[in-house]
Structure 1
Amino acid sequence: MEFEIVTQSQRLAEICQQASTKPFLMLDTEFVRTRTLYARLGLIQMFDGETLALVDPVEIDDLTPLWDLLKNESVTKVLHACGEDLEVFQHYAGCMPTPMIDTQIMAAFLGYGLSTGFAKLVSDYLGIELDKGEARTDWMARPLSDKQLHYAAADVHYLLPLFEKLQAELSQTQWEDAAYQESALAVKKREKQPDAEKAYLDIKNAWQLNPKQLAILKMAAKWRLEEARKRDLAVNFVVKELSLWKLARFGLRSKDQMLKEEFDPREVQRHGGKLLRFTYLADDLNPNEYPEPVTRLMDYPGYKQIFKLLKDEVKIASDKSGLMPEFLASKKQLNQLLSWKWKKNAAPELKPDVLKGWRGELLEARFMSVIEK
């Protein structure tokens, strides 16, 4: 396995120019994320079938040629389990690899579980056992060890023959176009940035709060997310989620009360005043400005029975299609369907993903017969 380490912008530009003439580009990233909100990019691996390059973003200031290649629609980018890689590209490049195909998704259309690992597929399709010993390593350290470099290179070196075998097998099924649809959907989902105004809806047990308490939570959660983005700090390292909920639930009005509620003393010292301000600001709001109560789906009449009926339909579709039930429609996707029906009045323009594309062809008629009874 031959590879080169790229530390100069000029060489990167040459490699990207060559790759731009190829139909497919294997891509992967290595990164570190501990306390930060955004991953710290340590390495980018790319293989066009001719040159396997390990691009060092720590050494190269200008990665524009690579970002341009990501947007080059004549080159299909191939990744495995692309979710976090897409987040990295969105943050650093401000764009996504398009078009893109994910080998984990391809495998799911061939009967594998949705979260099948790269090493498992390489073993099954190529008969090679990969060493995953460097999966948890410091990719920001320099110099990178030979073992790290070979581990990183293997991820794109074997991705090419794996992709070719999956592609050949998929082409003999009805699912080839669906795999590209699903990969494009993964890109679309990762392009969306969380809305700070709605951050409070992700706080556990927000449903237990009344509208005024939700007003406090909404302001505090918005501030926390914006602070996390500004400081590149994971949200729970700004203020713990439970602390925000307690602030709102008990309408805390002093640092002493915070400490009695077992806030981290460092949270109180650093952010106590800012957090308490939201309690007082809520006093000045007109009740019309309070958020709507948060209603859990499970509290709607008949939720359990309808959810079970939907799962039954998924099982039938799974048996007929050969696709795994959790890939066809996850619990989250079924809840999105019910939320669309009950909370959004089944607005056509807000139709959930489970009713669109290849899933819609398999499931829409089945699901609508359940939720429209």
Structure 2
Amino acid sequence: MKYQIITTNSELERICAAARETDVVMLDTEFVRVRTYYPQLGLIQLYDGENASLIDPLAITDMTPFVALLKDTAVLKVLHACGEDIEVFFNEFGCVPTPMVDTQIMAAFLGYGLSTGFAALVKEFVGVELDKSESRTDWLARPLTAKQLDYAAADVFYLMPIYDALRTKVEQAGWLEAAWQESELQCIKRTRVTDPEKAYLDVKGAWQLTPKELAALKPLATWRHQEAIKRNLALNFVLRENEMLSIARELLRTPKAMEEAGVDAHAIRRHGAKLAAIVKDSLTIPADEYPEAIVPLMDYPGYKQLFKQLKDIVKAAAESKGLASEFVASKKQINQLLSWVWKKERDPAKLPDVMQGWRLALVGDKLNQKVQ
């Protein structure tokens, strides 16, 4: 396995031009995401069937040729378990690989587990045992070790024979178009931008709060979201979710009250005055402007029995096609359908996953007819 390390603008231009002459390229990224809101890109791997290249984004000052490759619709990009890679590309370059297919998704259409790892597929299709010990190393450190570089190159070098084998099998099984659709759906989900004004809806336990308490939680969550983006800091490193929930539930209006409630001292020193001001402002909101109470799906009449019936429909459909039930429709996706019917009145502009693409004919129509 030979590879080249790309550290200059001219080298990047050369290898991207060569890649754009091919029909398909393999892509991967290495990044660090410990305390940051956005993943920090450390390395990009590219293999066009002839040249394996390790692109150093910390050394290169003009990534335009690579962005052009990402956008080139004449070149298919193949990735494995691409979710976080998609986030990396979107946050770094404002675009995603187009068109793109995920080999983990392709494998799922052949009955493999939903989270089948790259190393497992390499062992099965190529007969090579990969050393995955470098997966959690510091990809922002320089220089990268020979072991790190070998590990990174293997992730795209062995991806091509896996893709070739999977494509043949998926096409024979009649799932190729579905694999494109599912890969595109992952892109859409991973690039969906959170509305800061709705950030409070993602707070676990928010449903336990009264409308008055939600009136405090909503601006608190909006502030935390915006602060996290501004400082590129993971949400819980700005303010822990359970502490934010306590501040809203108890309507804590002073740093001292927050301290007594067990809120992190560092967070109080840095943000206590701001948090107190947000809570005080929320108390001036008229009751008729409070957010609506959040009613969990499980509190709707007949939820438990209906969910089981829907799950059974999914299981039967999955077994008939040799697919994993969770892949056809997970618990989250079934709940998404119920929310669409009960809370969004089947809004055609907000279709749940099961009412789109390959899932619609397989199971979506049956599930939709079952829900009243």
TM-score, normalisation: structure 2: 0.99
Q: Secondary structure at the match of 1:22?
A: coil
Q: Which residue of 1 aligns with 2:257?
A: 257
Query: Gapped runs of 5+ residues in structure 1?
Result: none
> What secondary structure is seen at the aligned counterpart in 2 of 1:115?
coil
CA distance in 2, matches of 1:249, 1:283: 12
Aligned residues: 372
The one-character-per-residue Cα deviations of 1:224-274 (angstroms, maximum 9, x if unpaired) are: 010000000001000110111111100111112111110011111110111
Residues 1:235 and 2:238 aligned together: no
Q: Distance in 2 between matches of 1:147 and 1:282?
A: 54
Query: Matches of 1:158 and 1:352 in 2, distance apart?
Result: 35
Q: Which amino acid aligns with 2:213?
A: Q
**What does residue 199 of structure 1 align with?**
199
1:50 correspondence with 2:50:
yes
Match of residue 160 from structure 1: 160
Deviations 1:79-99 (A, max 9, x none): 000000000001000000010
Matches within 5 A, 1:120-139: 120-139=120-139
TM-aligned CA deviation for residue 208 of structure 1: 1.0
Which residue is equivalent to 1:343? 343
AA in 2 matched with 1:224: R
Structure 1 stretch 296-305 or stretch 280-289: which is displaced more?
280-289
State the match for 2:293 in structure 1. 293
Letter of the aligned partner of 2:10 in structure 1? Q
SS at 1:279's partner residue?
helix
Deviant stretches of 4+, over 3 Å: none
CA distance in 2, matches of 1:365, 1:56: 47
Distance 2:289 2:113 in 1: 45
Once the two structures are superposed, residues 53-112 of structure 1 have per-residue CA deviations (whole angstroms, 9 ceiling, x without a partner) of 000011111111101110000000000000000000010000000100000000000000
CA RMSD of aligned residues (A): 0.8
Per the alignment, residue 85 of structure 1 pairs with 85
> 1-side partners of 2:22 and 2:278: how far apart?
55
Query: Aligned partners of 1:263, 1:133: CA distance in 2, in Å?
Result: 37
Give the Cα–Cα distance (whole angstroms) in 2 for the partners of residues 73 and 211 of structure 1.
48
Identity of aligned residues (%): 54
**Secondary structure, counterpart of 2:44 in structure 1:** strand
Taking structure 1 as the reference length, the TM-score comes to: 0.98
Amino acid of the structure 1 residue aligned with 2:347: A
For residue 365 of structure 1, report the CA deviation from its aligned partner: 2.5
Q: Are residue 118 (structure 1) and residue 118 (structure 2) matched?
A: yes
Structure-1 separation of matches of 2:368 and 2:59: 54
CA distance in 2, matches of 1:364, 1:39: 34
Alignment check: 8 A CA contact 2:216 2:283 kept: no
Residue matched to 2:319: 319
How far, CA to CA, are the matches of 1:90 and 1:176 in structure 2? 25
Q: CA deviation at 1:348?
A: 2.3
**Aligned match of 1:75:** 75
Residue 288 of structure 1 and its aligned partner are, at CA, apart by 2.4
User: What amino acid maps onto 2:126 in structure 1?
Assistant: L
Q: Distance in 2 between matches of 1:92 and 1:350?
A: 28
1:136 deviation in Å?
A: 1.1
Q: For 1:103 and 1:275, how far apart are their aligned partners in 2? A: 45
Partners of 2:228 and 2:365 in 1: CA distance: 43
Give the 3-state SS of the residue equivalent to 1:181 in structure 2: helix
What's the counterpart of residue 368 of structure 1? 368
